[in-house]
Chain A
Amino acid sequence: AQTVTQSQPEMSVQEAETVTLSCTYDTSESDYYLFWYKQPPSRQMILVIRQEAYKQQNATENRFSVNFQKAAKSFSLKISDSQLGDAAMYFCAYRSRNAGGTSYGKLTFGQGTILTVHP
């Protein structure tokens, strides 16, 4: 079974600065997807960024980028030019790519990291 670990329960950053959230995972699979989700106080889960394991290029979405180290099974999220609206709980998640049949749609989540942004 896959596991996802976020070792930073809380992080803080000054507005306009850069912060990196860590995520490691354990899997015996070679092909999979990794995600970062944002959960603001409204509790809605919002997809931030998505990485396909077979792609070596790190995914980027505006101010959000990842550092994907497949051999180290590490998937960190970098938020540049932090804004007050970035304050939220962030979850790292894993999904198998080669799963067939009914195994699609199964996400494994980490414990989450609470990000505070100081003005």
Chain B
Amino acid sequence: NAGVTQTPKFQVLKTGQSMTLQCAQDMNHEYMSWYRQDPGMGLRLIHYSVGAGITDQGEVPNGYNVSRSTTEDFPLRLLSAAPSQTSVYFCASSYGPGPRTDTQYFGPGTRLTVL
């Protein structure tokens, strides 16, 4: 299987533009998350989902929307891009709670630049 896939790998936007970062997994994972990675700050959680139709906010949700209509897909929408959203974005998934099944699998990341 392909694991967690993200598209695009690179994207340049102008301030005010909108776009959707795609994330898909083929492992039948219930839990999916979006993180952003900025220099010196580690990864910070944006939004996450525990199943189709259920989402919740993370640490830095402002300016982003998510939805989860299927188990496989968890897109992240930037409503009106700002330079502060320049970052590397990671999608992650896991089976869910439990000692052997909650390890998160990360996608390869999307590098976004907002001019």
Contact = CB atoms under 8 A, between A and B. Distances in A.
Interface of A: 4, 6, 9, 33, 35, 37, 42-47, 50, 52, 91, 93, 95, 101-102, 104-112
A23 B103 CA distance: 19
A43 B94 CA distance: 19
A43 B37 CA distance: 10
Interface string B41-81: 11111001010001010100000000000000000000000
Contact of B45 (A101, A106, A112): A106
A111 B54 CA distance: 29
Contact of B56 (A43, A50, A91, A102): A102
Given A6-B42, A42-B108, A107-B104, 18 more contacts: A4-B42, A33-B102, A44-B109, A45-B92, A47-B103, A50-B103, A91-B42, A91-B43, A102-B56, A104-B50, A105-B33, A105-B50, A105-B96, A107-B45, A109-B35, A109-B42, A109-B43, A110-B42
Interface of B is mostly: strand
Contacts of A106: 33, 45, 48, 58
Interface string B100-111: 001111101100
Given A44-B109, A45-B90, A105 B104 contact: yes
Interface centre among B43, B88, B92, B109 (most CB of A within 10 A): B43
Contacts of B44: 109
A115 to B, nearest CB: 15
A59 B114 CA distance: 41
B48 A102 contact: yes
Contacts of B97: 104
A45 B106 contact: yes
Contacts of B88: 43
Given A104-B50, A104-B97, A95 B102 contact: yes
A105 B31 contact: yes
A107 B91 CA distance: 12
Nearest to A91: B42
Given A33-B102, A45-B92, A47-B103, A102 B54 contact: yes
